Amino acid sequence: MCHDRLNIIFKLKSVLSETLLNRFYDVLRKFELLPKQVHTLNGNLTLNKSLQFAKRRGARGLHISTKTMEIRTGNVANWDHQFLSIKHHTNPNAVPWSDWIKAFSAFEGFLQGWIVNCEYNKWQNCEDLEEHARVGRDLSLFSIIPNSLHQPAPPLIIDITKNPGRRTIRKGLVESVGAEMWFGSEFWERSGANKDEVLGIDWADVNKETDGIVHIKAADTPFTDESPVAIQHRLRKLLFPTTWNIPVQWSKWDGWKPVDLPTEKTDDGYYLVSPQAEMNESFPIVIEIAGEKGGKQGRFRITRTSQTDSETIFIPNKQNMDT
């Protein structure tokens, strides 16, 4: 089970995977949590074997876990940065986040770090209609937009571009906010944020630590719902002043052509959406997804009549969908 997760961004290829893994083991050793073996996608390895594996990987990504926590690393070459994430599987307080930050912010390529609640982060960044419907989320409460990607990607997605907890990959960094964040010296040039302005705010705890890292603490615990919307938007505008209101996918919409999805009626009165729909320029787009609303099982019918207008209705089970 994932409680909270620490995300860290470095300059691209500034730290080798072997170096990051060694530092991960150093922290586990300090807290007497270092096991004799770790788990990788290739099976269980001893610590020495895992370091040899990481050395062969060079700057490429890793995914290594123990019984108590895991580390992931990887390069995002097209966006000019690399990432590291650490999450605790069991005791969320096994290693204080400040110790992880102290260990990894010491690398010269450190740009930013922030803590997220895993569940909140997942749903704030989930565009998939079926995934929301599968757990009983009311799709009529969401804004539905065309997908900027072509098939086989779904034609319609949930608009997350205004979610306070959204994560947007930018050139050289990641636009995301958390209740607690850390920033290295090169972050300010990449984000366009005014470091002096950030250090001078009085609505969050901000301090410049001895190693030059700027630490912001806006709440005692990670954000877990949208209740502190105002402060999340305020942090985003402060830290990412040139990009916070520019969704990445807008630049891709020029070439988008809507999909008119053919449907097939089943014996119980439901319609199935064909996954082999052809590209054309006609509206409406109709897609239907099994889900739940108010404790009743049924299907959400989403009808998009233009690139900007859509309607979502819920049809409970046993109700004929010819109307």
pLDDT digits (tens, 9 = 90+) for 284-310: 667 777 778 888 888 787 777 666 667
34 within domain boundaries = yes
Provide the mean pLDDT of the chain.
Answer: 82
Q: Tell whether 155 and 193 lie within a shared domain.
A: no
Q: Tell whether 178 and 309 lie within a shared domain.
A: no
> Which of 55-64, 170-179, 314-323 is modeled with the greatest confidence?
170-179
Q: Tell whether 303 and 172 lie within a shared domain.
A: no
Instruction: Give the HSE-up count for residue 250: Cα atoms under 13 Å, Cβ half-sphere.
Output: 9
Q: Tell whether 269 and 173 lie within a shared domain.
A: no
Q: Tell whether 213 and 284 lie within a shared domain.
A: no
Residue-level pLDDT at 270: 36
233 within domain boundaries = yes
Q: Across the strands, what pairs with 43?
A: 40
Please enumerate in sequence order all residues whose Cβ is within 8 A of that of 104, keeping only pairs 6 or more positions apart, or say none: 8, 20, 23, 84, 110, 113
Residue-level pLDDT at 307: 60
Q: Tell whether 102 and 196 lie within a shared domain.
A: yes
Across 272-279, average pLDDT: 35
- Displacement of CA 222 from its chain's centroid (Å): 14
SS3 for 282?
coil
Please say if the pLDDT value at position 98 is more than 70: yes
**Geometric angle at alpha carbon 71, from 69 and 75, rounded to 5°:** 165
Report residue 323's pLDDT band, with 50, 70 and 90 as the boundaries: very low
Q: What's the token pair of residue 14? A: 């500034």
Q: Tell whether 87 and 188 lie within a shared domain.
A: yes
Neighbours of 89 (CB within 10 A): 15
Q: Taking the alpha carbons of 9, 15, 18, 24 in that order, is the dihedral positive or negative?
A: negative
**Are β-strands 205-208 and 180-183 bridged in parallel, bridged antiparallel, or unpaired?**
unpaired
**Are β-strands 263-265 and 214-217 bridged in parallel, bridged antiparallel, or unpaired?**
unpaired
Residue-level pLDDT at 1: 59
Please say if the pLDDT value at position 95 is more than 80: yes
283 within domain boundaries = yes
pLDDT digits (tens, 9 = 90+) for 108-120: 999 999 999 999 9
323 within domain boundaries = no
Residue 97 dihedral angles phi and psi, to the nearest 5°? -60, -30
Q: Tell whether 233 and 298 lie within a shared domain.
A: no
Q: Tell whether 87 and 20 lie within a shared domain.
A: yes
Q: Tell whether 72 and 44 lie within a shared domain.
A: yes
23 within domain boundaries = yes
Note whether 305 and 145 are within 8 A (CB).
no
249 within domain boundaries = no
Q: Which has more confidence, 265 or 216?
A: 216
pLDDT digits (tens, 9 = 90+) for 43-69: 999 999 999 999 988 767 899 999 999
Across 18-39, average pLDDT: 96
For residue 274, the enclosing domain spans 132-159+257-316
| Stated length of the chain | 323
Range with the poorest average pLDDT among 148-157, 171-180, 260-269:
260-269
Q: How many domains does the chain have?
A: 2
246 within domain boundaries = no
Q: Tell whether 27 and 115 lie within a shared domain.
A: yes
Residue-level pLDDT at 286: 72
Q: Tell whether 182 and 262 lie within a shared domain.
A: no
322 within domain boundaries = no
